[in-house]
Amino acid sequence: MTTTSSSSSSSSHHHYNLLLFFFFIISTTTTTTTTSPTTFIYAGCSQSKYSPNSPYEQNLNSLLSTLSLSSTLTLFSNSSSTTFSSSSPAFALFQCLPSLPLPSCSSCIHTSLSKLSSLCSSATSATILLHSCLLRYSNSSFFGHSDTTLLLKTCGSSLPSPPFSFDITTMLDTTLSQLQTSSSSSSYNVAGAGYFQAESQCDGDLSPKSCAECVNLAVRQLRNACGGAVAGDVYLGRCFARFWSINDFYSHKPSSSSSSSSSSSGNEGEKTFAILIGLMAGIALLIVFLTFIRRAATDGK
Ligand SMILES: *[C@@H]1O[C@H](CO)[C@@H](O)[C@H](O)[C@H]1NC(C)=O
Ligand SMILES: *[C@@H]1O[C@H](CO)[C@@H](O)[C@H](O)[C@H]1NC(C)=O
């Protein structure tokens, strides 16, 4: 089980006493980079198993090694194998996030394959989801078929309660609406508003229509289940949608985090302070000058 951002880098937290705007920016960006591409998310295996050395096993093994090789060249591939027996074909696909460089995609698929053999040994069909890649196979063709079965739903911790000088709920709402709107245009989408980011992806063999339906359903479940959380993941049969916060709400008080959204008023305060310092320095200088003049006048007598 995983969420994309609930883990935080505690090492940077003690810097907050300095209350420097820069530290705030740096810390909020570093807290989001703790998830690795191969972070395990889900494994689903059929109850039925194939028998050792069966034609199906041979087809499947040859297919999986073909896909493993393909993952060094492309981020998505669906394929079937009847190499050893045409009566028991194997079907499989893999997919990586578009942001993943090919070598990383390949090593992600390698990790999926080793998870497969440890978690779904000899299963007739299986799905392995890692953070940045997935692998599915079956003894029946599933290419182009929609599947909106709920596989996994995870919500992060609750959002801190109001009052805030900014509206967290609206930020999350806008982020999820953006994701829903963009889901009809591409199989992978990102969205973000304020302190939230989100992404969705469908398997590359789905039609745009099936993809949009799947993502819409996933986002609706995210809204209902994780609407008050700092992060949420919903994985359906052939798509997923997830969001996370780029602000670590719990590592510092909302009052200090609001300094970013109200930086203009902070600058005003700094300006007033600078003017005050300047004025005091001016007065001090004037006093020193007048004293000097007076002393010079007395000395001259
Ligand atoms: C796939 O395997 C299952 C379990 O062994 C079996 O019931 C089913 O008929 C198979 N499907 C095909 C298309 O061979
Ligand atoms: C991959 O999936 C698409 C969409 O369903 C299908 O048309 C195509 O034949 C599949 N490719 C292979 C190699 O099976």
Tell me the per-residue pLDDT of 163-182, one tens digit each, with 9 for 90 and over. 665 688 889 999 999 999 88
Whether 260 and 191 map to the same domain: the answer is: yes
Is residue 18 pLDDT above 70, yes or no? no
Whether 153 and 134 map to the same domain: the answer is: no
Q: String of b and e for 231-261 (b: at least 16 CB within 10 Å)? A: bbbbbbbbbbbbbbbebbbebbebeebebee
Is residue 160 pLDDT above 90, yes or no? no
Which residue minimizes the CA distance to atom 6 of ligand 2? 143
Q: Among residues 106, 138, 170, which one ends one of the domains? A: 138
Give percent of the chain with pLDDT exceeding 90.
Answer: 62
Whether 293 is in a domain gets the answer: no
Q: What are phi and psi of 159, to 5 degrees?
A: -65, 145
Cis amide prior to 163 (ω within 30 degrees):
yes
Which residue minimizes the CA distance to atom 7 of ligand 1? 48
pLDDT band at 14 (very low <50, low <70, confident <90, very high): very low
Whether 284 is in a domain gets the answer: no
How many domains is the chain partitioned into structurally?
Answer: 2
Can you say whether the dihedral through the CA atoms of 104, 31, 10, 222 is positive or negative?
Answer: negative
Q: What is the pLDDT of residues 61-97, one digit of tens each?
A: 999 999 999 999 999 999 999 999 999 999 999 999 9
Q: How many residues does the chain have?
A: 301
Whether 159 and 262 map to the same domain: the answer is: yes
Whether 45 is in a domain gets the answer: yes
| CA 55/CA 90 separation, integer angstroms | 10
Whether 49 and 82 map to the same domain: the answer is: yes
Range of 130's domain?
A: 40-138
Whether 158 is in a domain gets the answer: yes
Q: String of b and e for 172-191 (b: at least 16 CB within 10 Å)? A: bebbbebbbebbeeebbbbb
How high does pLDDT run on average in the chain? Answer: 81
Query: Best of 205, 206, 207 to mutate for ligand 2, by most ligand atoms within 8 A of CB?
Result: 205
Residues 6 or more apart whose Cβ sits within 8 Å of residue 203: 76, 93, 95, 134, 136, 187, 238, 239
Q: Which residues' Cβ are closer than 6 Å to ligand 2?
A: 78-80, 143-144, 205
Whether 296 is in a domain gets the answer: no
Taking the centre of ligand 1 as the mean of its atom positions, its distance from the CA of residue 139, in whole angstroms, is: 6
Whether 119 and 165 map to the same domain: the answer is: no
Q: What is the model's pLDDT at position 114?
A: 96
Whether 17 is in a domain gets the answer: no
Which residue minimizes the CA distance to atom 10 of ligand 2? 78
Which of 23-37, 145-159, 197-211, 243-257 shows the lowest per-residue confidence on average (mean pLDDT)?
23-37
Q: What is the model's pLDDT at position 143?
A: 98
Q: What is the model's pLDDT at position 278?
A: 60
Whether 55 and 161 map to the same domain: the answer is: no
Whether 200 and 225 map to the same domain: the answer is: yes
Q: What is the pLDDT of residues 194-234, one digit of tens each?
A: 999 999 999 999 999 999 999 999 999 999 999 989 999 99
Which of 71, 206, 56 is closest to 135 using CA atoms?
71
Whether 282 is in a domain gets the answer: no
Query: In the predicted model, what is the mean pLDDT of residues 19-48?
Result: 63
Taking the centre of ligand 2 as the mean of its atom positions, its distance from the CA of residue 144, in whole angstroms, is: 7
Whether 187 and 112 map to the same domain: the answer is: no
Q: What is the model's pLDDT at position 59?
A: 97
| CA 139/CA 127 separation, integer angstroms | 13
Whether 156 and 231 map to the same domain: the answer is: yes
Taking the centre of ligand 2 as the mean of its atom positions, its distance from the CA of residue 129, in whole angstroms, is: 21
Q: What is the CATH number of the domain that holds 68?
A: 3.30.430.20
- For residue 145, give the ligand 2 atom closest to its CA: 5
Q: What is the pLDDT of residues 122-153, one digit of tens each?
A: 999 999 999 999 999 999 999 999 999 999 99
Query: In the predicted model, what is the mean pLDDT of residues 266-272?
Result: 42
Whether 112 and 164 map to the same domain: the answer is: no
Whether 162 and 119 map to the same domain: the answer is: no
- Residue 257 tokens read as 């985090």
Angle between helices 102-119 and 55-70 (to 10 degrees): 160
pLDDT band at 45 (very low <50, low <70, confident <90, very high): very high
